Structure 1
Amino acid sequence: MATVRIAGTGLTPFGEHPGRTGRDLFAEAGLTALDDADVDPDDVEHLFYGNFMGELAEHQGHQGPLMAEAMGVQAPATRLEAACASSGVAVREGVKTIRDGEADVVVVGGAERMTDMGTTGATDGLSIAADDLFEIKAGMTFPGAYALMASAYMRDHDADPDDLAHIAVKNHDNALENDKAHFQTAITVEDAVEAPRVATPLGLYDACPISDGASAVVLTSEEYAAEHDLDAPISVTGSGQGGDHLALQERETLWKTPAAEEAAAEAYAEADIDADDVDCAEVHDCFTIAEVLATESLGFFEPGEGLAAAKNGETTRDGSLPVNLSGGLKAKGHPVGATGAAQIAELTELLAGHHARSDAIPDASVGVAHNAGGTVATVTVHVLEHDGGVDR
């Protein structure tokens, strides 16, 4: 199996970008990634681009070639849509394309412009990732859906929902030094516990913000990286994808996420690792309960034990397994089409020692990215490894 190297990364700040278009945001991220990689746009052989709501937010479909043009790339370009996992799927397609020998240089990434839609418009737009016939028409929103998942988890494990506050506090604290993060403000446990309820048991600080932003990653083959003397010490050694019923009522339980378990099993097997080998992780915490479900599905904790991990200091910066050192979706932000590739970009910088929070993991060599779509009906998991080729 061909080795896939990460040669460069690019992120816009996540947050509010009034008046900017998706193509403008992605051009910034894509050109930054190419410059970081020291790769000429003419060498790019394919672009895989993740976007969820372009038709609703910007009345724009067929965005693949549009984004290639925006960043000066003349190559086949494909848009992929898998709700909030759109650019995670784009990363996976790029990895497979290089592994299969079809290309030596691929750009993967995504973008979303959401804040111009307003809270009501963005919430309505996001809801189309659920089952329209049986969920949306019944009044389902994603805060409500994750509240159902959280309530079922608390009931089955006799758990305290106030423990979710520690996850929010941890991720806000991690984002303080991330200049790309939407929220760079600290909160307390009391702030989170006492905040207005969005959908019980979830409060305001349990939910990620509505964000604009873009991400891009340059992937290359091992041969291309060596031939062009690229500084690319991070490789993608495992890639997995899992799926589940779209609607919650079709699932065996409301809180288990078997799609994540499937994706993790595939990615771990490809990388020849297990959960105990992972040094840090970026997981899809659109709501604090989602971080709990992710860490359990990835095998870091047994069912029922992930909720207290932040409270116990296991997933904090100085814990045994730091989770969401970027701030996660919760504080870094969640422009949905950009999130999956942004996780890869953050992990790359963390493992290479170039991130503001790399000091928390000075000896880390294995990182895992978990990107989920909808109520975890689509999941990608990627394993990134540092080969020790540069002095950190």
Structure 2
Amino acid sequence: MADARVAGVGLTHFGSHPERTGRDLFAEAALRAFEDAGVPREDVDQLNYGNYMGSITENQGHQAPLMAEAAGLRCPATRYEEACASAGVAVREAVRTVRAGQADVVLAGGMERMSHLDTDDVTAGLSTASDDLFEVRAGMTFPGAYALMARAYFEEYGGTKTDLANVAVKNHANAVPNEYAQYRTEISVEQALDAPDVATPLGLYDACPITDGASAVVVVSAEYAAEHDVDAPVRVRGTGQGTDNMALQDRAHLARTPAADDAAEMAYADAGIGPDDVDVAEVHDCFTIAEVLATESLGFFEPGEGIDAAREGVTTADGDLPINLSGGLKAKGHPVGATGGSQIAELTRLLRGDHPNSEHVADAEVGVAHNAGGTVASAVVHVLEVAE
């Protein structure tokens, strides 16, 4: 089995770009990834592109060949749609393709553009990642769904809005030095608690923003890197994917995320490591409660113990296990189809030592990315490490 390496990464600024097109955003991310990798476009064997709702937001289906053209590629191109986990799946399939020896160079990533629409239209579009028959038609939105998950967690394990506020405060602080982040402003616990409720117990600062942006990752085989003198110091050591029932009412447990449990177990087994070996992680914090659930599914904490981690300083930048040094979806932003690729890009920069927050994990060797779709009906986990 071939060794899959990250040769280069590229990101756009995450934020509001209503004047730009999706193809323009992805072209920028791809250009940066190729420049970072030092890999010529003509060597790319395929494009794996993640996008969730371009058919709604840009009236544009069949985006894969369009994005290949924008990136200057002439190769097989496929669009992956797994809601918020779209780019995570695109990266996973790139890794699996390279490992299988079917390609030496794959460009993987994604794009989403939403800020040109009003909030109601974006909310309606995002809601299609839940069960239309049994959730959407009943008026369910994702803030409401995650509020139900937070309530279930508090009822079973305990926890307060203050605990969630500490997650938001941590991630906003981490975003301040990140040049790609949407919100580079610190907030206080008091500000988070005083903000208007979105869906009780979740307030405004518990939710990620509406975001435009793109990500791109150049995945290469170790053999290609050696033959072409490409510096690819980060290895994708493990990858996993899981699935759960779509509708919340069909799940056995609202305060757990079995899809992420399964994805993490698969990724750890693939990598031959366990949670105790992880030095830093980027997790899918579309809402603050989602970060708590993610850290427990990844095995960093037992069920019911993740709620205290940010407040106690365990997952802060200077804690024992820094989580979301990028700012996370909460503050860096969440361009849905691009987020999974962004997490890989941020972890790669952290492990290479060229991220603005690398000083907090100077000795880190292993990082984990957790990317979830919907209310974690889908989940993808990757294990990255500094290659020997």
Q: d(CA) in 1 for partners of 2:229 and 2:291?
A: 38
1:32 corresponds to: 32
1:324 corresponds to: 324
How many residue pairs were aligned?
388
2:213 corresponds to: 213
Cα deviation, residue 119, structure 1: 1.1
2:369 corresponds to: 369
Q: d(CA) in 1 for partners of 2:9 and 2:107?
A: 10
1:199 corresponds to: 199
Letter matched to residue 116 of structure 2 = D
Q: d(CA) in 2 for partners of 1:80 and 1:158?
A: 37
1:235 corresponds to: 235
1:110 corresponds to: 110
Superposed CA offset, 1:335-355 (max 9, x none): 000000000000000000000
Q: d(CA) in 2 for partners of 1:21 and 1:354?
A: 29
Cα deviation, residue 159, structure 1: 2.0
Cα deviation, residue 184, structure 1: 0.3
Gaps of 5+ in 1: none
Please tell me whether residue 53 in structure 1 is matched to residue 53 in structure 2.
Answer: yes
Q: CA RMSD in A?
A: 0.6
1:173 corresponds to: 173
Letter matched to residue 84 of structure 2 = C
8 Å CA contact 1:154–1:161 kept in 2: the answer is no
Q: d(CA) in 2 for partners of 1:59 and 1:130?
A: 21
1:7 corresponds to: 7
1:293 corresponds to: 293
Q: Which structure 2 residues correspond to residues 1-150 of structure 1 after superposition, within 5 A?
A: 1-150=1-150
Letter matched to residue 295 of structure 1 = T
Please tell me whether residue 269 in structure 1 is matched to residue 258 in structure 2.
Answer: no
Cα deviation, residue 329, structure 1: 0.1
Q: d(CA) in 2 for partners of 1:38 and 1:268?
A: 30
2:157 corresponds to: 157
Q: Helix, strand or coil: the match of 1:286? A: coil
Q: Helix, strand or coil: the match of 1:18? A: coil
Q: d(CA) in 2 for partners of 1:230 and 1:41?
A: 14
Letter matched to residue 321 of structure 1 = L
Q: Helix, strand or coil: the match of 2:128? A: helix
Runs of 4+ residues deviating >4 angstroms: none
Please tell me whether residue 333 in structure 1 is matched to residue 337 in structure 2.
Answer: no
Cα deviation, residue 161, structure 1: 2.6
Please tell me whether residue 357 in structure 1 is matched to residue 362 in structure 2.
Answer: no
Please tell me whether residue 247 in structure 1 is matched to residue 247 in structure 2.
Answer: yes
Q: Helix, strand or coil: the match of 1:214? A: strand
Q: d(CA) in 1 for partners of 2:185 and 2:304?
A: 29
Q: TM-score, normalised by structure 2?
A: 0.99
Q: Helix, strand or coil: the match of 1:219? A: strand
Superposed CA offset, 1:279-307 (max 9, x none): 00000000000000000000000111101
Q: Helix, strand or coil: the match of 1:73? A: coil
Please tell me whether residue 281 in structure 1 is matched to residue 254 in structure 2.
Answer: no
